[in-house]
Structure 1
């Protein structure tokens, strides 16, 4: 309904688990790594999280990238008996069984075991995925445990993933299920997004839908985080309703007030206008008492006096808190002063100070107890990084800033690609000089982990992005090639301009032709084998050095774990980058040798 109004290709905040809108926060990336691990290892993988944290979306993305040699049984409705569970697994895998024999479950298990052995002999693996697993009965969970006994001498024939809400953890903690709990080889609890991740998530979805990153004002994004607590499903529901409200009001930006209105409609929160009216009335009464007391004190003496007010306590009024859907002590009053002007210029933002979160009544009471003295305006204290004098958008078009940013990145690689102009697609030049582009999203820590020149997408109040190149990153200081100048800034200076999108330029190995995986035969396989040997990893196995055999697969998984990458055994862009970065000391780095030595790799 509102897509045309905001020039969107589609609705950005659908609650359907669409992998096209997948946003990988550090927590979601870790959960996805656990799921990827479950594709290569036997036993159980357990992913838990509150309702709406994105478990099913991760699962849909995993299914989309499932290797072609994997058979999947996917169970969405686990409220099943043992017999119904086994029948469902057989149906999902296309296994025939005797429908008339319902005296026992043995024939189901026998048919499943025969199928798994045949699949293993044919080089195929089998994966059982159960979503909403907190609804499984203990007796059904015990039967699932027994299915992991189907194995050969060297490997499990059935890999199992369980996804569910936190209640699943309580279920597995029961004494009768301790054997199952001991067989869980990887587990992860997915939490909500933090404030920075929430803002990046909203902007990511807007951009994926073809919209501007500035549709939601900064105060609106902060309020959205407080109400949703970083739960993606709640973010989607409230943001979608807020866009609808802005469309109905003829507005092209979503402000702080619209988020509150949308949250009341979506979450069914009652309004609190009556509380505000009581508090304002109390404040006016106190103010009247102060004025009257001061007038009597002034007229009862020939000499000037200082009015100290009364010592009467404020009436027991309910604090005037705007309906944010959060706890009262963290919610500012929604008086409309916290919006951003249509031109994007910030006005007064909601305060985070507890001293400014109290009610109007308590504020008036404290004023009534203070001496009346001539008002002297205090000198303003400038906030850190409040001025953008050091960082402004270059006087160039979006395409021109992009061209100059990529030119700076190529220059860091000493790559002669000729002139990079605004009418080019800069990444098309990379293969000419044995480079590739990797586009992704993340945090400054992610940029530092790649430790290679990065082109970042920046925003101001305009409708198009502009681009700069990170050429150094030392702690909280970033050196940025922007337009025709090189700036060294605090990363916090870019907090309102960079929302996590960046592109890494990386060098490819000889004969590079893309990702490689077990079973592939290609010259780059030999390069990986040699590189791992150079890293003191003994890689024996096949006499054909260009064949990706199981021994090399295990070595790649071990390397990925050491590098903090998803241990899926596939050499894709991130693994290529990690291999090349460690093998070639001449690469252009962002982080100094001293800081790299002090850095502890992420697990």
Structure 2
């Protein structure tokens, strides 16, 4: 309507985010830099906040307009989802197939993890972006935190960006979200435009639309800035309505009266603060009561849905639950838990969509290998061999007793594929064949979509998907203890393990090695630990538990430590 009147070829002040009109103020340049950092850093969790209409979504769209070929993006625009719905949405965005009627979070997480490992092996990066993240529930945010556990020994597999209004910062400060908040590696709050930037912004938008930049004078731009408080979306609303008013009056320039009238039409004000009357307050109270009633009804439905959703995901791996209770150690080699996992196995095997029948057929290859297996305890022998230890040289009734003789410790648990690959160590898996018979095999290595397994001492190659369909979640792996056999090095520790830990951390962090490392746990060691844990994407608690010690050996690329995933070199800081 007014385009021809002003010589424009497109609407200059549309409120729909359009990267073609991107105006990079100093604030927006810094915000975009934080998003770009999120696509490149090894262990990144980026938080971008800002008031409504400041340009957060526009920056996001700009980032996604021409993404590099090695980047895969999952963009979530509707955050009002349960944890299960979020995982399903991520699968949909990445193009990961899954059975639509599955209710298992574990199945979805495992599918996501396999996809991420494949892309990582191909040198590609995967990014999850969630807009309007202030609307995420506590449970869904916790699920997002668990996704940061998807990793190789040295890299996070999924880069996450949370974009939202200032309420998101307050939400993340809640005590129950402390762990998630600690994992954020970059934060930026996008502020409104300054008065000078508003004038430049108006001229920029008009120029991009093909018009003359003198339509809005400096004085008019100052008026618009004051009314809009520098918020780009509000500036657009006022400027758009002012152009319509000028067109209706056959004017080619905008004056202050037109701006005041436009602001009154779109914002309900003419430059003065809105003063509520008693009638206004009564109407507002009635409206709020109605909204509250609807919200409570919706909350009741949501809670019923949450309670009815089967929760199959396990606790995240932490320092505490990694330390195995002596009473839970198997008395015999890989003693199976008394509670059968047939239901879980059936669910995994049933969760194969029609488009994945090829994978189901491939399982027969693995099944035939299992049917020919002669000596299941050989899987434990193969694990010792993978660590360069002759199994016949050890005595004991269980794998863990034998491992202790060579300063190795056991981790024996039921977990997800993400947890297993996070440890990045060869592991004995318990899997179930098509006849529901249980077998023990050694998962020796993973390379992209393929897995190297050892059955009866012979190497075989199968697909990762084959293993996922047959694996019931039980695994056993070894990790090397410090020289004095400590499983945890904490502030009350002292002696050889302290000096050893100093040297290991100095090697990874690139610090000058101390000639006579202290044998007492001091502030210096705690600072080093926190720095390393932050770099490795762990909870920076300043305590060296099994998870931290395992990661430390991985980062050092110790020659005597076998890896499950392809090794990559680590540079010092």
TM-score norm. by structure 1 comes to 0.45
More helix as a share of residues: 2
TM-score norm. by structure 2 comes to 0.47
Higher RCO structure, 1 or 2 (CA under 8 Å, sep 6+): 2
